[in-house]
């Protein structure tokens, strides 16, 4: 897939599950031909069960429904969940499933981390929100803060072709998706679909981040849950601040995994010395992956700025050029900074302490080379397997798809 800017799009920001789930479910209820979902996580909670009900109803009225979940993120789906989907005709597939060993999931690397929904080839949703109740405020202190976008217009054609190639890579399906790519202009925004895979698009998302930061003249505003980017992206952030750009990072202050905050803190001193302002979001765990740069450029998607997302996982972001959308997203992020964040403070070490200097040197050299080292981590051809629910069993891998990972990593198919 060659990323191309598409003009004439309508883009709507959706914040948290309170906005995202009703919008997706309404689109599924209105579907007449096709629903395709790719998601890292589906849990059997009130959100997952609501999704199940909507998909079953859509399939029973003749809508073609495909769902791809990740074999690590959604490994515990039961027959009670899978069975009704299969009976209604929903094609539920799992990306690279693997059995637990001594109760531990070991298939942690190179996951399908995208969150995409496409309905009738005319409406798409892209973002960081999974189908789980922890994206709703009533979940409690562990509820996640996140964003997604609803899209209509020519960009949906690109998204539709991409997910069809990943989930149904038969020639007839690809030709049908290409023939259906006739969306009319729906709004003023330009949009670009960016993906990261382990084949031809290994650094597209990071490269566009770096280019946008490099061209920034006024402000860079990034909210990212898992922040430990490569050396080159850090260098662009520092250079932007040095030339007078206002650079703000919103990172986790109440992390869902403590190691995430510890890793990010290793970078604070380097960034703050050059004028980068680091804010810790403390109301609840931050799960977002969004950014606004200057007056028009913004991005929303599934890609964190950490080694897993930038070097291993399959990710998808939408980049948007539209002043009104950028103003909307910027306003939401400024609200977080002003009302729900605290300035990050790292205690200054004694000048006689050698450990901070050694630690900084180790982090520096790791970040310079981590994208190269990632290529040596375990690699195999992931399986895309159909799931079914035999009585008394868990969702089992049943139908191995031909071709390994090619169709999952790029739209070329098998």
Q: Assess whether pLDDT exceeds 80 at residue 213.
A: yes
The H or E element that residue 310 is part of is helix 307-311
Six-digit token pair at 233? 């992206």
- In this predicted structure, what is the pLDDT of residue 286? 97
Angle at 140 between CA 134 and CA 141, to 5 degrees: 100
The alpha carbon of residue 236 and the mean position of all alpha carbons in its chain are separated, in whole angstroms, by 22
The yes-or-no verdict on residue 378 having pLDDT over 70 is: no
The single residue of 66, 96, 113, 160 carrying the catalytic annotation is: 113
Q: Where are the beta strands (DSSP E) in 85-167?
A: 91-95, 116-119, 123-127, 147-152
Helix (H, G, I), strand (E, B) or coil at 278: strand
Taking the alpha carbons of 79, 130, 210, 283 in that order, is the dihedral positive or negative?
Answer: negative
> Sign of the C-alpha dihedral, residues 351, 353, 358, 363?
negative
- pLDDT tier, 178 (very low <50, low <70, confident <90, very high otherwise): confident
pLDDT tens-digit profile of 145-176? 999 999 999 999 999 999 999 998 887 888 88
Of the listed 146, 289, 306, 409, which one is catalytic?
289
Residue 81 has pLDDT above 60, yes or no: yes
Which DSSP letter does residue 137 get? G
Whole-number Å distance between alpha carbons of 26 and 354 = 58
* Cα–Cα nearest to 219, from 274, 302, 277, 264: 277
Find all residues with CB under 8 Å of 346, minimum gap 6, and list them.
265, 268, 269, 272
Indicate if 207-374 has the same CATH topology as 6-187+381-409.
yes
For the record, the structure tokens of 290 come out as 């969004």
Residue 68's pLDDT is: 97
Task: Tell which wins on pLDDT, 65 or 371.
Answer: 65
pLDDT of residue 205: 98
Q: Which residue has the tokens 């009738």?
A: 120
Q: How far apart are CA 401 and CA 112, in angstroms?
A: 16
Average pLDDT, the chain: 88
* Catalytic-residue membership of 115: yes
Does 37 score more than 60 pLDDT? yes
CA distance 209 to 194: 11
All residues at 6 or more sequence positions from 408 whose CB lies less than 8 Å from its CB, including other chains: 95, 112, 166, 197, 314, 382, 384
Q: Is the pLDDT of residue 259 over 60?
A: yes
Active-site residue (options: 66, 70, 96, 120): 120
Specify whether the CB–CB gap between 357 and 363 falls below 8 A. Answer: no
Residues contacting residue 81 through CB under 8 Å, at least 6 positions apart: 44, 48, 49, 52, 389, 395
Top-confidence range, 40-54, 107-121, 261-275: 40-54
Q: What confidence tens digit (pLDDT) does each residue in 288-335 have?
A: 999 999 999 999 999 999 989 999 999 999 999 999 999 999 999 999
Look at domain 207-374 and name its CATH class.
alpha beta
Q: Which residue out of 70, 157, 204, 294 is catalytically annotated?
A: 294
pLDDT at 349: 59
| Residue 244: its H or E element | none
Catalytic choice (144, 160, 261, 287): 287
- The predicted structure's pLDDT at residue 100: 78
pLDDT above 80: residue 355: no
3-state secondary structure 335-365: HHHHHCEEECCCCCCCCCCCHHHHHHHHHHH
Q: What is the pLDDT of residues 121-151, one digit of tens each?
A: 999 999 999 999 999 999 999 999 999 999 9
Quote the tokens at residue 202: 């290994």
Residue ranges of the domains in the chain? 6-187+381-409, 207-374
Instruction: Return the closest-CA partner of residue 142 out of 228, 43, 229.
Output: 43
Angstrom distance (rounded) from CA 303 to CA 112: 11
Is residue 261 part of the annotated active site? The answer reads no
Known catalytic residue at 262: no
Spatial distance between the Cα atoms of 384 and 405, rounded to a whole number of angstroms: 8
Rounded distance between C-alpha atoms, residue 179 and residue 392, angstroms: 43
More confidently predicted of 302 and 375:
302
- Residue 219's pLDDT is 98
Q: Is 289 a catalytic residue?
A: yes
pLDDT band of residue 406 (cuts 50, 70, 90) is very low
Which superfamily is assigned to 6-187+381-409 in CATH?
Endonuclease Chain A (3.30.870.10)
Check whether 396 has a pLDDT greater than 50.
Answer: no
Q: Which residue among the candidates 115, 135, 248, 279 is catalytic per the annotation?
A: 115
Q: Catalytic site residue 279?
A: no
Please report the pLDDT score of residue 392 as a whole number. 37
What are the φ/ψ torsions at residue 25 (nearest 5 degrees)?
Answer: -65, -35
Catalytic annotation on 158? no
More confident residue, 173 or 180: 173
């Amino acid at each position: 897939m060659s990323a191309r800017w598409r003009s004439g799009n309508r883009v709507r920001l959706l914040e948290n599950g309170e906005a995202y789930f009703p919008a997706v479910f309404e689109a599924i209820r209105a579907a007449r031909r096709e629903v395709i979902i790719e998601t890292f996580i589906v849990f059997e909670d009130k959100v997952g069960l609501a999704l199940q009900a909507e998909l079953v109803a859509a399939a029973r009225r003749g809508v073609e429904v495909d769902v791809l979940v990740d074999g690590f993120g959604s490994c515990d789906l039961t027959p009670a969940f899978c069975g009704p989907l299969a009976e209604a005709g929903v094609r539920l597939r799992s990306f690279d499933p693997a059995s637990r060993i001594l109760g531990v999931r070991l298939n942690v690397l190179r996951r399908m981390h995208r969150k995409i929904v496409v309905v009738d080839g005319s409406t798409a949703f892209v973002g960081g929100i999974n189908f789980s109740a922890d994206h709703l405020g009533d979940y409690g202190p562990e509820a996640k803060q996140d964003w997604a976008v609803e899209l209509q217009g020519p960009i949906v054609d690109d998204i539709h072709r991409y997910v069809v190639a990943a989930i149904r890579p038969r020639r007839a399906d690809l030709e049908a998706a290409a023939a259906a790519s006739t969306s009319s202009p729906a709004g003023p925004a330009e949009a670009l679909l960016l993906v990261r895979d382990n084949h031809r698009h290994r650094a597209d998302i990071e490269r566009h981040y770096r280019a946008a930061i490099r061209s920034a003249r006024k402000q860079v505003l990034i909210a990212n849950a898992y922040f430990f980017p490569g050396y080159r992206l850090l260098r662009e952030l520092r250079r932007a601040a040095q030339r007078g750009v206002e650079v703000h990072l919103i990172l986790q202050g109440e992390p869902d995994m403590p190691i995430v905050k510890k890793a990010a803190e290793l970078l604070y001193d380097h960034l703050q010395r050059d004028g980068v302002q680091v804010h810790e979001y403390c109301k609840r765990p931050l799960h977002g992956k969004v950014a606004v740069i200057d007056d028009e450029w913004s991005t929303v998607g599934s890609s964190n700025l950490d080694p897993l997302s930038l070097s291993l996982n399959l990710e998808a972001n939408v980049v948007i050029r539209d002043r009104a959308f950028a103003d909307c997203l910027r306003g939401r992020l400024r609200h977080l900074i002003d009302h729900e964040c605290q300035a990050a403070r790292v205690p200054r070490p004694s000048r006689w302490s050698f450990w901070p200097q050694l630690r900084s040197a180790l982090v520096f050299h790791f970040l310079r080379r981590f994208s190269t080292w990632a290529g040596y981590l375990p690699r195999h051809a992931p399986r895309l397997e159909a799931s079914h629910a035999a009585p008394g069993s868990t969702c089992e891998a049943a139908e191995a798809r031909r071709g390994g990972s090619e169709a999952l990593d790029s739209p070329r198919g098998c």
